[in-house]
A and B are shown apart, each in its own frame.
Chain A
C-alpha cells in the first residue's frame, strides 16, 4: 500500500479538530496535576503519621495501576452514583490525578532541597506558615523543579491518546474514526505519529536546555 496525499489532505481537517482537543486536555490535566501535586507534597510533610500513611498508600495505588483502567473506572462507575461527567472531564480528571502523584515527588524533592537554615530564618523573622511558604521556600524550590515538571507535561501529552478509549474524540480517535469509515489506515495513523513527534521532540530539547541552565545556576 502506498502513501496517498489525497487521503492525507482529506483527513487533515478532522485531525485538526482532534489536535485542539488533545492540546486542551493536556493543558487542563497538567494544571490539575501541578496544583494537586503541590498539595499532596505539602500534605506529605505533615506531622500526622496517619495522614502520611494514608497519602503514601493512596498515591502508590494510583501510581501502580494503569491509567486506562482508572479511566474506565471513572467513566463507567461514576454514573452509577449519579455523578455525570462528560467524557472529556473524566479523562482530564484521571490524567491530572494520576500525574499529580508523580509531580508530588518532584515538588517534595524540590522542597527538601531547600536548606534547613531557610526554615529557621523564616521562623526567626516571625513569618507565619503562609508567609514562609510564599516568601522563602517556594521561590527557592520552584526553579530547579521546572525541567522535571516540563518533562511530565510532555509525558501527559503523550498519554492523551488513551482518552480515545472513553470516547473522547481527540487526535487519535479522530484518526481512528476516519480509518474505520474509509478503510485507510496508513495516512491517518502516520500523521498522528508525526504530529506527536513534531511536538514532543522540540519540547524535549527545550526541557533539556532548561535542565542545563538551572544546573549551571546552582554552581
Chain B
C-alpha cells in the first residue's frame, strides 16, 4: 500500500482529469438533453424525427464503440480530436441521449392545465416553456439526472482506453511500475466511490432546494 501511495502525485492528476472529464461531458450532456428532449415534443414532424434518430443512434450503439469511432475513425475523414475532446464528445453525446428522455418525461409530467393556462395568458412558446413548464418540470427531472450523473462518472473510466490519463489509466501505470495489482485498483475504486458519493450528496441538496415550498405532483398521481 505504501508503494502505491508514494505515487500520490499521479493519482491526484488522474483524479483531476476524471473530474474535468466528468464536468465537461456533464455540461455537454445537459445541453444535448434539453435540445433533443424538447425537440421530441416539437410541433414539426421533421424535428421530432431527427431527435428520435439521434436518440436511437446514441442509445443503441455502445458507448465504447462511439468513443473509438470518434477517436480512430473520424481522423481518417480529416476530423481530428485530441483524446480529451473525443472523450468529452462521446460521453456527452451518449449520456445526452439518455438525458433527453428525462427531459421529455419531465415536461410531459407537467399537467395539461399548465399548458392551457399559459396559452390563455397569451404566452409565446418561449415564455411558456421558460416561465411555466420548465420550472415545474425540473424538480421531477433532478433525481433521474442524479442517477445519470453517476453513470456518466462511471463511463469516464472507459475513456482511459483512448489514452486519456484519468484515474483508471493512472492505476495501470502504477500497476506496471510497482507490479502490485490489488492496491492500485482498490485505491482508485475508493476514489471513484468518494467522488460518486459527493455527487449524490450534491444532487440531494439541489433536489431539496427545488422541492422546498413547492407542491410537486409526481407523474402518474393526481
Interface residues of A (CB under 8 A from B): 1, 61, 63-70, 72-73, 76-77, 80, 158-162, 164-165, 172, 176, 179, 185-186, 189-190, 192-194, 196-197, 200-201, 204
Contact = CB atoms under 8 A, between A and B. Distances in A.
B154 A189 contact: no
B197 A162 contact: no
B185 A77 contact: yes
Given A63-B150, A161-B65, A186-B76, A69 B168 contact: yes
Interface stretch (B29-37, B115-123, B126-134, B155-163): B155-163
B80 interface: no
Interface in B168-212: 168, 171-172, 175, 181-182, 185-186, 188-189, 192-193, 196-197, 200
B61 interface: yes
A196 B189 contact: no
Nearest to B159: A68
A155 to B, nearest CB: 10
Given A77-B185, A176-B68, A201-B56, A193 B61 contact: yes
Interface of B: 56-57, 59-66, 68-69, 72-73, 76-77, 150, 153-158, 160-161, 168, 171-172, 175, 181-182, 185-186, 188-189, 192-193, 196-197, 200
Contacts of A165: 161
A71 to B, nearest CB: 10
Contact of B181 (A66, A76, A204): A76
A65 B192 contact: yes
A197 B185 CA distance: 33
A197 B60 contact: yes
For the complex of A and B, the 10 pairs showing the least CB-CB separation, nearest first, are A64-B196, A66-B157, A1-B76, A66-B154, A76-B181, A161-B64, A196-B61, A193-B61, A200-B60, A197-B60
B171 A72 contact: yes
B61 A80 contact: no
A159 B65 CA distance: 10
B60 A185 contact: no
A65 B196 contact: yes
A133 to B, nearest CB: 28
B62 A196 contact: yes
